[in-house]
């Protein structure tokens, strides 16, 4: 694990987008759901739904 420590000056220099980027959010969400890793947040989903390839082959 890598830990990164930010100072108050680092955080004060942080900029945010003027608004959300819906297509980017959608792309990242779909990519996260399709990852076959051991992420506990999606482990139940993968167990219940199977892999993306298995779902695509289902009738």
Side-chain-side CA neighbours of 24 within 13 Å: the count stands at: 4
Long-range contacts of 17-26, Cβ-Cβ distance < 8 Å, separation of 24 or more: none
pLDDT of residue 8: 92
Radius of gyration in angstroms for the set of CA atoms belonging to the chain, rounded to a whole number: 18
Instruction: Tell me if 55 sits within 8 A of 46, measured CB to CB.
Output: no
* pLDDT tens, residue by residue, 1-58: 889 899 999 989 988 888 888 898 899 888 877 776 666 666 777 677 766 665 666 5
Instruction: Show the DSSP H helices in 1-59 as ranges.
Output: 8-12, 22-34, 40-49, 52-57
Token pair, residue 39, equals 């992420």
């Amino acid at each position: 694990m890598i830990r990164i420590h930010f100072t108050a000056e680092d955080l004060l220099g942080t900029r945010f987008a003027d608004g959300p980027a819906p297509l980017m959010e959608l792309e990242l969400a779909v990519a996260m759901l399709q990852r076959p890793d051991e992420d506990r947040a999606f482990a139940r989903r993968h167990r219940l739904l199977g892999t993306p390839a298995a779902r695509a082959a289902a009738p």
